Structure 1
């Protein structure tokens, strides 16, 4: 009931400010890929209209990155408020295929602000060329990430942190920080005697000790790009791939945990590293 009142309040606030209403863009998502949305400012609040869509963002340490996922169902809407008071609204829809699983949101796309007295620069019409240029910039960013990942795979190994379980070996081979991104190279070796169907590789930031419930925290770090991720790994095969994350800051006593699981089985291997 509380979430309904919050949503209604936000919608009323947006309606009051939308003196020049415009049609909303549609953002597509599915259950297989993360649709990464990069906003001009850190996300303060994000709301979706129904349960077949999930929008996740870092509530502990606000970041401009939000991830949208969906399962088949009716279209809905996404409402996002950022730290600078900007309000963004989109139609969200399920699609089996995503041409570009990344989108960089511009300030011109906002529909209003939290404070009515704030000067609005978004009332100008956005020319179609801007949309085309935005798509090109996303493509260039993906190309940059692809090239950086390829270069990382050619570099000498700086780390060799390994954990083996049930015939599966998970290794962290390299970790590089470049500007605002962290590139982590993983290697999986399968000597289990059967094929391994790649499920999920998840990265968590750990603080405190698990036995101390009051101080223990495990925060999932969501990737912004994946490179060479395999669908399956045959027996006797080793595969190297790279995940890219936004810059991760580790305080004293904090560490990272990576967990690799198999699709539709209970096989899993995880390790801790810094």
Structure 2
């Protein structure tokens, strides 16, 4: 009777939570002469049969992936199994004198749902993660493609004590700007990066001229190194949301050395930002 009550409680809770259409359950046959083994994709946390003439045994002390089913002659019943991760598996179980299958390997796809309903917010979060993962995959592929290309824009370089900072290319794709950047270390000392930032500067008019700087945060960085070794050249890409600037503004790429003074500020005209490749 307790087993019946537990199964009914599980079924009612699961039905309300999942609001699914009726599910056609597979049938597993067993008898009292042989053990029928069920192997699940995750360790078994709970297993319940609906009738006393069916017995499902599993290790309750040490998590294991399989359980054993036996049956005595009688009416058909059902078997409910919950895995460690909450996945629910349900089967019709019947007694059969002669068995053709003794081992069942249960795939994840056989689960009829999860005992803990996935909240709408969680579902949206999962969708957002998938979308973000797809974007990152695309960024990586497109960045790799850009580094393989030989396309260049006009000379944009800045040098300081053997360190050369340059922007090789600015490419517009979809809704983003891709800045293809190169750092050359022609000195005899390694160059440890403190930061590499991109900002937009606006010249303030008036008697007291000044510059207002607004940093642009990349949405993706490709192959940004922590160190550029002596006589080494590295190429990397910053991906930023598309933007444009007026002719009284300019972009500034700022490279700063960690525990050093070989910093560079590379000024980029609005023409390159507004007319990318």
Contact 1:210 1:216 in 2 (8 A): no
The whole-number CA distance in structure 1 between the counterparts of 2:186 and 2:121 is 56
Alignment partner for residue 156 of structure 2, among 157, 161, 184? Answer: 161
Structure 1 residues 210 and 195: CA distance shift in structure 2, 3 A: farther
For residues 8-56 of structure 1, give each alpha carbon's deviation from its aligned partner in whole angstroms, at most 9, with x where no partner exists. xxxxxxxxxxxxxxxxxxxxxxxxxxxxxxxxxxxxxxxxxxxxxxxxx
Structure 1 residues 135 and 217: CA distance shift in structure 2, 3 A: same
Gaps of 5+ in 1: 1-124
Aligned to 1:62: none
Aligned pairs for 1:53-68 (under 5 A) are none
* Aligned-pair CA distance for 1:162: 0.8
Structure 1 residues 172 and 209: CA distance shift in structure 2, 3 A: farther
RMSD: 2.0
1:139 aligns with 2:133: yes
Q: What is the TM-score of this pair, normalised by structure 1?
A: 0.51
Contact 1:189 1:237 in 2 (8 A): yes
* Aligned-pair CA distance for 1:270: 1.3
The whole-number CA distance in structure 1 between the counterparts of 2:191 and 2:205 is 29
The whole-number CA distance in structure 2 between the counterparts of 1:211 and 1:258 is 26
* Aligned-pair CA distance for 1:158: 2.2
For residues 205-229 of structure 1, give each alpha carbon's deviation from its aligned partner in whole angstroms, at most 9, with x where no partner exists. 1121699645632111111110000
Q: Helix, strand or coil: the match of 1:216?
A: strand
Aligned to 2:170: 175
For residues 84-127 of structure 1, give each alpha carbon's deviation from its aligned partner in whole angstroms, at most 9, with x where no partner exists. xxxxxxxxxxxxxxxxxxxxxxxxxxxxxxxxxxxxxxxxx625
Q: Helix, strand or coil: the match of 1:267?
A: coil
Aligned to 1:108: none
Gaps of 5+ in 2: 1-118, 270-277
- Greater shift in the superposed pair: 129-138 or 199-208: 129-138
1:208 aligns with 2:203: yes
The whole-number CA distance in structure 2 between the counterparts of 1:127 and 1:182 is 31
Q: Helix, strand or coil: the match of 2:138?
A: helix
Q: Helix, strand or coil: the match of 1:169?
A: strand
Structure 1 residues 169 and 261: CA distance shift in structure 2, 3 A: same
Aligned to 2:246: 251
Structure 1 residues 236 and 142: CA distance shift in structure 2, 3 A: same
The whole-number CA distance in structure 2 between the counterparts of 1:162 and 1:211 is 30
Aligned to 1:191: 186
Alignment partner for residue 126 of structure 1, among 120, 128, 135? Answer: 120
The whole-number CA distance in structure 1 between the counterparts of 2:219 and 2:144 is 16
Q: Which has the larger radius of gyration?
A: 2
